[in-house]
Amino acid sequence: MNTITSTNFNFPNQKSVYKGKVREVYNINNDLLVMIATDRLSAFDVVMPKGIPYKGQILNQIATKFMEQTKDLVPNWLLATPDPNVAIGHLCDPFKVEMVIRGYMSGHAAREYKAGKRILCGVPLPEGMKENDKFPEPIITPATKAEMGDHDEDISREDILKRGIVSEADYVILEDYTRKLFQRGSEIAASRGLILVDTKYEFGKTKDGKIVLIDEIHTPDSSRYFYADGYQDRQDNDESQKQLSKEFVRQWLISNGFQGLEGQTVPEMTDDYIETVSDRYIELYEKIMGEPFIKADVSQIQDRIKNNVERFLAERN
């Protein structure tokens, strides 16, 4: 199956290219960004050796459709989606914090709580909670954006302001936007029988100083979902929650002796296993979006992307 695991395009007026773990971002004339969602799979901050068919299309379409569904609440960077794997939008100066918001005691928060911490990113945590319990109110636990290869780090609102990472006036807007997006995302998830457990948002400033949502929103790579049906019974019986995220990949890696630690080798992903991962991502898409996933033609995926982007850029000029 054809996948796109790296690109090497040279678009008209291209100034630079940035390659992240999953996305490759092309700067066009210091005005537009062309963001290509590849089929790369990252877990434990390590990119797996093989691509997952349709993963890039799935992530791109979830993120761009959620941006359409939230733009009445929060402005975003997006201008167009000329290709199933591509989003094009305004060049923005990104804030160096990720706005993480948690409705439930899960993942990183649960691990910190189990270790005895009762303050996370400056936010007090109630006593007597257990893993996957709902917080009385969603909490915002920001993280500093890591440089390449480093892990993101927890940081409090107070430290963000004290260190001048974000001004207080801007941070108030980031918090407001984060809560509004999480509320809307939770409502959409509930309508599909899901619980939006936690997620992260990234923001930037346009050239005229407007704060906008950038990157991705409510995808299984940036968010954790539970199935609502049976949630409370599972909590009452101390059972694991049914998750809708890429946690299943992490669990497979752990069971095969890999957690991204020094000296560990990524286990071989057979073609059959990769096909099951692709099927799971399609299932994620259909459950989160409430619509069938339509596979794009991947026979000439590099040419398809190149032609669609160049056509958009030519028409814009």
Q: Which of 244, 263, 280 is the last residue of a domain?
A: 244
Query: Residue 145 pLDDT > 80, yes or no?
Result: no
* Among 231-235, 248-252, 266-270, the range of highest mean pLDDT: 231-235
Closest CA to 43 of 215, 245, 200, 214: 245
Closest CA to 141 of 104, 93, 190: 104
Do 111 and 233 reside in the same domain of the chain? Answer: yes
Do 121 and 177 reside in the same domain of the chain? Answer: yes
- pTM exceeds 0.75: yes
Q: 79 lies in a domain? A: yes
Closest CA to 39 of 24, 50, 51, 31: 51
Instruction: Over range 46-51, report the average pLDDT.
Output: 90
Do 50 and 137 reside in the same domain of the chain? Answer: no
Do 110 and 143 reside in the same domain of the chain? Answer: yes
Q: 65 lies in a domain? A: yes
Q: 268 lies in a domain? A: yes
Q: Which of 220, 244, 268 is the last residue of a domain?
A: 244
Q: What is the pLDDT of residue 223?
A: 92
Distance CA 245, CA 316 (A): 36
Q: Quick one: how far is CA 33 from the chain centroid?
A: 18
Query: Residue 35 pLDDT > 60, yes or no?
Result: yes
Do 199 and 137 reside in the same domain of the chain? Answer: yes
Task: Indicate the DSSP class of residue 134.
Answer: E
Query: Residue 149 pLDDT > 60, yes or no?
Result: no
Q: What is the pLDDT of residue 260?
A: 86
Closest CA to 43 of 218, 255, 185, 227: 255
Q: 54 lies in a domain? A: yes
Q: How many domains does the chain have?
A: 2
Q: 140 lies in a domain? A: yes
Distance CA 128, CA 150 (A): 33
Instruction: Over range 295-306, report the average pLDDT.
Output: 96
* Local structure of 271: helix, strand or coil: helix
Give 70-108 pLDDT, tens digit per residue.
999 999 999 999 999 999 999 999 999 999 999 999 988
Q: 18 lies in a domain? A: yes
Query: Residue 172 pLDDT > 90, yes or no?
Result: yes
Do 121 and 162 reside in the same domain of the chain? Answer: yes
CATH number where 18 lies: 3.30.200.20
Do 40 and 181 reside in the same domain of the chain? Answer: no
Average pLDDT along the chain: 94
Query: Residue 238 pLDDT > 60, yes or no?
Result: yes
* Local structure of 120: helix, strand or coil: strand
Q: How confident is the model at residue 301 (pLDDT cuts 50, 70, 90)?
A: very high
End-to-end C-alpha distance for the chain, whole angstroms: 35
Q: 285 lies in a domain? A: yes
Question: 305: domain range?
Answer: 14-92+246-316
Query: Residue 146 pLDDT > 70, yes or no?
Result: no
CATH number where 185 lies: 3.30.470.20
Do 116 and 85 reside in the same domain of the chain? Answer: no
Instruction: Over range 124-142, report the average pLDDT.
Output: 97
**H/E element, 312:** helix 301-316
Give 191-214 pLDDT, tens digit per residue.
999 999 999 999 999 999 999 999
Q: How confident is the model at residue 150 (pLDDT cuts 50, 70, 90)?
A: low
Do 208 and 150 reside in the same domain of the chain? Answer: yes
Do 226 and 277 reside in the same domain of the chain? Answer: no
Do 107 and 227 reside in the same domain of the chain? Answer: yes
Q: Which of 218, 244, 270 is the last residue of a domain?
A: 244
Do 184 and 267 reside in the same domain of the chain? Answer: no
Q: 2 lies in a domain? A: no
Q: What is the pLDDT of residue 259?
A: 87
Per the model's pLDDT, the better-predicted residue between 38 and 243 turns out to be 38
